[in-house]
Amino acid sequence: MDWGRLERVYVRLPNWVGDTVLATPMLGALRRLAANAEILAHGKGAPLGILAGEGLYDRAEPVRRRGGPFWPWLEGRRLHRACGPFDLALLLPNSLSSALCAWASGATERVGYALNGRAALLTRPLRVRREGLLRPVPMVDYYLGLLEALGAEVANVPRLPRLRVSAEAAAWAEAFFLRHGLAGNRPVWALNVGGSWETKRWLPRYAGQLVRRLRREGLQPLLLRGPDEQELAAAVCEAAGEPVPGADEVVGLTELVAVLARCALLVTTDSGPRHFGVAAGIPVLVLIGPTHPGYTAVDHPWLRLLCERTDCWPCHLKVCPLDFRCMRALTPERVLAAGNSLCRAAARPVGSAAP
């Protein structure tokens, strides 16, 4: 690939915000390789929003699902009229619709993984090996593989996602901490117990018990929740015996890194916020339930996994047909001990910036 001769590059972003954060090393490498090209980022609103200030693309187009079952073809034609023609299309999702959209856009070179029956729509279909499900390849490497298939040297690209903190986000985070009484020099442990899958969520009663223990040790808990997790937050507060800071307010994705950068530790499930904690550069303790951690490995020295490899692990099921044994094994005592151990290992002063 002659990167210097590219004029327009199309990138279909991942659909999930966590995967979008994991794609930042690849997007940064692409920006450096195709320095003279106009890069179009095409994706859902949330992924586009968190990347807006990163300088990784020149133009953004939100996905428009109009036209019923024909929407991918219509969307591709729309992009061709508005932005094209494209010299190169890089498809980060594995969906058939993303390949059909790129094909309809008229992109000369279309690179993606040969999954879900879309190989014929790609000029460079990349093969993946299976081990039960898919072979557990870290998503950072999975995305960088698209560039490697085009001859790019990616061995020295840091496998560490990062997101910038704007001045506006930093000011918002400072005001947020003041609103919730988190000012001062006592360490704050951010807790994210939710997730899009039922099986990824930590037990609310465990989270409430952890809150009680944190307060006894002089630590400050901060509960993070999504817009649809009011009931989950209420259950945590009930188990804690009193309100938990953050339970009544949703932190936006554009402010999340700024909020986490002020915390001593993030305790999180295997969901989107874990990647924001890595991007913030703070210690991150991940409570792994049914998922294989090989898909989300990154080069973060302060990342630790707490996982019970039960006889049915990893099932990758969204609903547990048994007794939720993998998550029930991750007790508050184990989480507190692992969190304290990680904080000691990181030896990170409270509120200091990431290295």
Q: What is the CA radius of gyration of the chain?
A: 21
Q: Report long-range pairs for 236-240 (Cβ below 8 Å, ≥24 apart).
A: 236/191, 236/193, 236/204, 236/207, 236/208, 236/211, 237/208, 238/204, 238/208, 239/204, 239/205, 239/206, 239/207, 239/208, 239/209, 239/211, 240/207, 240/208, 240/209, 240/211, 240/212
Binned at pLDDT 50, 70 and 90, residue 324 comes out as: confident
Whether 355 maps to a domain, the answer reads no
Q: Output the domain CATH number for residue 217.
A: 3.40.50.2000
pLDDT for the residue numbered 118? 96
CA 158, CA 154: separation in Å to the nearest integer?
Answer: 9
Is 171 found in the same domain as 120? no
- Judge if the upstream peptide bond of residue 62 is cis by omega within 30 degrees of 0: no
Of 322 and 164, the structure prediction assigns the larger pLDDT to 164
Is 132 found in the same domain as 16? yes
Is 115 found in the same domain as 182? no
Whether 239 has a pLDDT exceeding 70, the answer reads yes
Is 192 found in the same domain as 110? no
Whether 154 maps to a domain, the answer reads no
Is 136 found in the same domain as 39? yes
Whether 73 has a pLDDT exceeding 90, the answer reads yes
Per DSSP, 202 falls in state P
Q: In what order do the strands lie in the sheet with 109-113?
A: 59-62, 38-43, 8-12, 88-91, 109-113, 124-126
pTM for the whole thing? 0.85
Is 234 found in the same domain as 98? no
List the structure tokens of 230: 């009011």
pLDDT for the residue numbered 292? 75
Is 77 found in the same domain as 18? yes
Whether 353 has a pLDDT exceeding 50, the answer reads no
Whether 101 maps to a domain, the answer reads yes
Binned at pLDDT 50, 70 and 90, residue 39 comes out as: very high
Whether 1 has a pLDDT exceeding 70, the answer reads yes
Of 297 and 44, the structure prediction assigns the larger pLDDT to 44
Is 172 found in the same domain as 137? no
Nearest to 277 by CA among 215, 218, 189: 189
- The DSSP annotation for 321-345 comes to SS--HHHHTS-HHHHHHHHHHHHHH
CA of residue 127 relative to chain centroid, distance = 24
Whether 162 maps to a domain, the answer reads no
Check: CB of residue 258 under 8 Å from CB of residue 275.
no
Binned at pLDDT 50, 70 and 90, residue 87 comes out as: very high
Segment holding 258, helix H or strand E? helix 253-260
> Residue 48 corresponds to which amino acid?
L
Is 310 found in the same domain as 180? yes
Task: Tell me the torsion sign for CA atoms 332, 336, 342, 345.
Answer: negative
Of the residues 120, 148, 176, which one is the last residue of a structural domain? 148
- Judge if the upstream peptide bond of residue 227 is cis by omega within 30 degrees of 0: no
Per DSSP, 157 falls in state S
pLDDT for the residue numbered 328? 86
**Domain of 274, in residue numbers:** 167-346
Is 219 found in the same domain as 187? yes
Span 142-173, pLDDT tens digits: 999 999 999 999 999 999 998 999 999 999 99
Is 216 found in the same domain as 79? no
Span 108-140, pLDDT tens digits: 999 999 999 999 999 999 998 765 555 567 889
Whether 143 maps to a domain, the answer reads yes
Counted domains in the chain: 2
Of the residues 148, 182, 215, which one is the last residue of a structural domain? 148
Mean residue pLDDT of the chain comes to: 90
Nearest to 261 by CA among 329, 334, 343, 163: 163
Return the minimum-mean-pLDDT range out of 156-165, 212-221, 279-288, 290-299: 290-299
Check: CB of residue 70 under 8 Å from CB of residue 83.
no
In degrees rounded to 5, what are phi and psi of residue 105?
-75, -15
Is 194 found in the same domain as 95? no
